[in-house]
């Protein structure tokens, strides 16, 4: 990304409340300054993947690139932390452009909730009763009844998160696909999910919603007792992540497929 040259005085820092992140924030602000976010050309997020997701949601409509440095635990979306040469690292960073999912959930009372998800939209049973779900793709029924703990739809950027933990596939970042992955499926027992084009619209209907309540979560926003959930890629929103050369999100996802 050689044409990206932010002024050193146009950086805004955000940090998690964790002590390591707050200490890093104080040192970096003393060294580089800290302008208000609405005046910044680039946002620096300090923490783990949780703070990166929060930052992406906060600035989702700003068009501002986000550069994260790991002061948390996992840090899959983050760069290594270093105080020296920060402006130069931003200058030479590689861009990853990601699109979120748009979720529209209607609960059993007819109330509508809209949300966006950068990683995944997941549906989970709320009680000891297993969920019974009907899955439609572009209006066509593809599964009349999935009996399971739930199901999720993951973006390529989110395919290494919850999706991977329930044995879903890892998707390269530039792949125009979504992962539709069951969570502890009971019937069909051997169904392992599907790869869908990212232009489709997915509808999940909750069968026996009163007896078998289900919640829907878009990243961190949860809607309880849903009846139907519509999920589609939001092409009107684009988010830019910055990573050091050789450590792009594309490269990290590729490594994940060959790593332990």
Residue 118 has pLDDT above 90, yes or no: yes
- 260: cis peptide before it, omega within 30°? no
Percent pLDDT > 90 in the chain is 79
Name the pLDDT band for 6 (thresholds 50, 70, 90). low
Name the pLDDT band for 172 (thresholds 50, 70, 90). confident
- E strands, the chain, where? 11-15, 42-47, 66-70, 94-98, 101-107, 112-117, 120-125, 131-137, 140-154, 177-187, 194-197, 202-207, 214-218, 221-223, 226-233, 239-243
- Burial state string for 75-96 with b = 16 or more CB within 10 A and e = fewer than 16: bbbbbebeeeebeebbeebbeb
20 classed as catalytic: no
Contacts 24+ apart (CB under 8 A), 114-117: 115/218, 115/219, 115/221, 115/223, 116/57, 116/60, 116/218, 116/219, 116/234, 116/237, 117/155, 117/158, 117/218, 117/219
Name the pLDDT band for 101 (thresholds 50, 70, 90). very high
Residue 236 has pLDDT above 80, yes or no: yes
Question: Mean of the pLDDT values across residues 81-99?
Answer: 91
Contacts of residue 231, defined as CB under 8 A and 6 or more positions apart, other chains included, come to 101, 102, 103, 121, 153, 201, 202, 203, 204
The pLDDT, as a whole number, for residue 173 is 78
Number of H helices, E strands in the chain: 5, 16
Residue 196 has pLDDT above 80, yes or no: yes
Is 147 in contact with 165 (CB distance < 8 Å)?
no
Residue 3 has pLDDT above 60, yes or no: no
Catalytic site residue from 49, 114, 149, 198:
49
Contacts of residue 183, defined as CB under 8 A and 6 or more positions apart, other chains included, come to 122, 124, 148, 149, 150, 151, 152, 166
How far apart are alpha carbons 188 and 182 in whole angstroms? 10
The pLDDT, as a whole number, for residue 7 is 58
Residue 88 has pLDDT above 80, yes or no: yes
Name the pLDDT band for 1 (thresholds 50, 70, 90). very low
Residue 174 has pLDDT above 90, yes or no: no
Is 36 in contact with 12 (CB distance < 8 Å)?
yes
The pLDDT, as a whole number, for residue 140 is 98
Question: Mean of the pLDDT values across residues 159-177?
Answer: 90
- Burial state string for 106-117 with b = 16 or more CB within 10 A and e = fewer than 16: bbeeeeebebbb
Residue 149 has pLDDT above 80, yes or no: yes
How far apart are alpha carbons 75 and 73 in whole angstroms? 6
Cα distance from N-terminal residue to C-terminal residue, the chain: 31
The pLDDT, as a whole number, for residue 260 is 58
pLDDT tens, residue by residue, 32-79: 999 999 999 999 999 998 899 999 999 999 999 999 999 987 778 899
Q: Which residue segments constitute the domains of the chain, with CATH numbers given? A: 11-98+238-258 (3.40.50.10330), 101-233 (2.60.200.30)
Phi, psi angle pair for 42, to nearest 5°: -145, 145
Closest CA to 213 of 67, 108, 60: 108
């Amino acid at each position: 990304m050689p044409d990206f040259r932010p002024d050193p005085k146009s950086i805004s820092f955000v940090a998690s409340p964790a002590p390591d992140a707050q200490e890093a924030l104080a040192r970096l602000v003393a060294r580089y300054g800290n302008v208000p976010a609405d005046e910044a050309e680039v946002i620096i997020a300090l923490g783990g993947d949780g703070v990166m997701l929060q930052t992406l949601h906060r600035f989702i409509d700003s068009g501002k690139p986000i550069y994260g440095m790991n002061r948390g635990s996992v840090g899959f979306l983050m760069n290594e932390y270093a105080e020296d040469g920060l402006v130069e690292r931003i200058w030479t960073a590689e861009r990853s452009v990601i699109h979120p999912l748009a979720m529209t959930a209607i609960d059993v009372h007819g109330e509508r909730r809209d949300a966006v998800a950068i990683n995944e939209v997941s549906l989970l049973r709320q009680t000891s009763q297993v969920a019974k779900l009907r899955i439609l793709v572009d209006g066509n029924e593809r599964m009349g009844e999935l009996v399971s703990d739930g199901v999720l739809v993951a973006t390529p950027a989110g395919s290494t998160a919850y999706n991977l933990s329930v044995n879903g596939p890892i998707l390269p970042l530039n792949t125009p696909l979504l992962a539709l992955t069951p969570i502890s499926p009971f019937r069909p027992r051997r169904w392992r999910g599907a790869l869908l084009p990212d232009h489709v619209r997915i509808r999940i209907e909750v069968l026996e919603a009163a007896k078998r309540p289900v919640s829907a979560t878009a990243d961190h926003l949860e809607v309880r007792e849903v009846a139907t959930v519509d999920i589609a890629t939001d092409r009107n929103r684009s988010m830019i992540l910055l990573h050091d050369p050789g450590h792009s999100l594309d490269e990290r996802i590729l490594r994940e497929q060959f790593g332990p």
